[in-house]
Amino acid sequence: MTHSFLPVAQPDLGGQELAYVTQAIQEGWISSTGRFLTRFETEFAQFCGTRHALACANGTVAIHLLLLGMGLGPGDEVIVPSFTYVASANAVTYTGARPVLVDSEPVTWTVDPRHVEAAITPRTKAIMAVHLYGHPAPMAALLDIGRRHGIPVIEDAAEAHGAKVEGRTVGGLGFAATFSFYGNKILTTGEGGMVTTDDDALAARLRQLRGQGMDPERRYWFPLVGYNYRMTNLAAALGCAQLERAEELIAHRLRIARGYRERLAPHQERLGLQLASEASWARSVHWLSCILVPAAQRDLLMTFLAERQIETRPFFPPMHRLPMYADPSFRQGRPLPVAEALGDTGINLPTYTALSDADLDRICGAILAGLER
């Protein structure tokens, strides 16, 4: 019996996406000004409960822009979980500052506040909380550490649009936050990013840096080295259409996470399988549904699934295993066992709107068969 191919991710563009992009083209506003950009920034700020939202070309430059706006540079350090996507650490490196890599919590898979506090030095200029796989980082503990040490906490919320901590939406929890709208994220603009903040002075600096550094009062006067990190009105048209359906798109992620849980949870102990959990204070938006399996079986299971036309991805390798961050000084000489275990055992499963109950049956049946072999 032949089966259709099930990818890991697939965008859901079934709302006003085509209509809005068509309007942007018909109106001739295809570059980095236009009504969809203004609307997307206004509505995304409302979505996060912040005063400001600045649209950017992608999520990586959103982080870079934020760190530049905070004045980060050579000699400075930013505490980052080693278990994250490479962009979180690279954006720190772009500024000349150094990422200090710390270990994660085994339950939420996000940065462990105890390790954050231990890693603080006189050079620490920011703590980066990364809300991984849709689960928020433990913001209450991180903000408490930040307050006590006078260090701002920033959020990399690329994977967690609409996630909540004690009822408050990510993006508005720390000093500032960044988002990605890459094609596989919860909301997408193709390529795109956003910085959110309540800080008026920071927002003004970010706006200037994003637009080549131009003086807001004097056209073509560039008093500093800026960047072109702008989003297009075409991308923002997609963003407006996605944001209209944010709760619907999140509901599909939750449905899929529930579907995997119902089918796999009864077999967890027997097969050494672990599903994502949700802390009592958190609403996870389950960006990708994931499982952890014994390290020795992980790659075999992925091959077994690929042979059955089911695409999966391994978890990110922790940053301290990549060549540019391998020097022990990046982790202050400490071992990072939780990040390593996650990198060795995690699998991302297909997670997208069009996934049906029958597809979930097929995927979970194959997972169980693969692990039982």
Match 């930040």 to its residue by tokens. Answer: 146
Cα–Cα distance measured from residue 250 to residue 154, given in angstroms and rounded to the nearest whole number: 23
* Least distance CB 161 / ligand PLP (angstroms): 11
Which of 50, 88, 242, 345 is in the footprint of ligand PLP by CB under 6 A? Answer: 88
Pick the stretch among 75-83, 151-159, 243-251, 259-267 that binds ligand PLP (CB under 6 A): 151-159
Indicate the SS3 state at residue 73: coil
User: Angle 343-346-351 (CA atoms, 0-180°, nearest 5)?
Assistant: 130
SS (HEC) of 77-90: EEEEECCCCHHHHH
What span, in angstroms and rounded, lies between the C-alpha atoms of 59 and 54? 11
Using CA atoms in the order 185, 187, 188, 194, what is the torsion angle rounded to 10 degrees? Answer: -90
Q: What is d(CA 80, CA 98) in angstroms, rounded to the nearest whole number?
A: 10
Q: How many C-beta atoms surround the C-beta of residue 106 within 10 A?
A: 14
The residues in 15-34 that bind ligand PLP, with binding defined as CB under 6 A, are none
Nearer CB in complex with ligand PLP: 169/360:
169
Q: Which is nearer to ligand PLP, 59 or 99 (CB)?
A: 59
Query: Rounded distance, CA 184 to CA 100, Å?
Result: 28
Choice between 197 and 301, CB closer to ligand PLP: 197
Which one of 185, 283, 286, 320 is the catalytic residue? Answer: 185
Binding mask 187-216 for ligand PLP (x = CB under 6 A): ------x-----------------------
Is residue 348 within the footprint of ligand PLP (CB under 6 A)? no
- Check residue 159 for interaction with ligand PLP (CB under 6 A): yes
Q: Is 182 in the site for ligand PLP (CB under 6 A)?
A: yes
- The number of residues that bind ligand PLP (CB under 6 A) is 14
Check if 164 is active-site: no
What's the burial of 120, exposed, middle or buried (CB within 10 Å: 0-12/13-18/19+)? middle
Binding-site member from 32, 50, 60, 124 for ligand PLP (CB under 6 A): 60
Q: Report, in Å, the least distance between residue 114 CB and ligand PLP.
A: 21
Residue of 72, 142, 158, 186 that binds ligand PLP (CB under 6 A) = 158
Give strand pairing partners of 126: 78
> Binding of ligand PLP at residue 95 (CB under 6 A)?
no
From the centroid of its chain, how far is CA 87? 10
CB 76 within 8 A of CB 92: no
Stretch that binds ligand PLP, among 39-47, 54-62, 97-105, 303-311 (CB under 6 A): 54-62
Query: Two tokens at 158?
Result: 């690329």
Of the pair 184, 301, the CB lying nearest ligand PLP is at 184
**Of the residues 34, 59, 134, 136, which one makes contact with ligand PLP according to CB under 6 A:** 59
Task: Tell me the C-alpha distance between 110 and 138, whole Å.
Answer: 8
**Residue 154 touching ligand PLP (CB under 6 A):** no
Residue 288 Cβ, how far from ligand PLP at the closest point, in Å?
A: 10
State which of positions 116-145 bind ligand PLP (CB under 6 A): 130
CA distances from 335 to 103, 120, 261, 326, 339 (A): 8, 16, 32, 12, 9
Q: Whole-angstrom Cα distance, residue 139 to residue 129?
A: 8
Is residue 85 close enough to count as binding ligand PLP by CB under 6 A? yes
The window from 154-162, 212-220, 243-251, 300-308 that contacts ligand PLP (CB under 6 A) reads: 154-162
3-state helix, strand, coil in the chain (%, to 5): 45, 15, 40
In this chain, which residue has its C-beta nearest to ligand PLP?
59
Q: Is 155 in the site for ligand PLP (CB under 6 A)?
A: no
CA distance 162 to 89: 23
Binding ligand PLP by CB under 6 A: which of 32, 50, 58, 242? 58
What residues line the site for ligand PLP (CB under 6 A)?
A: 58-60, 84-85, 87-88, 130, 156, 158-159, 180, 182, 193
Q: Which residues are catalytic?
A: 185
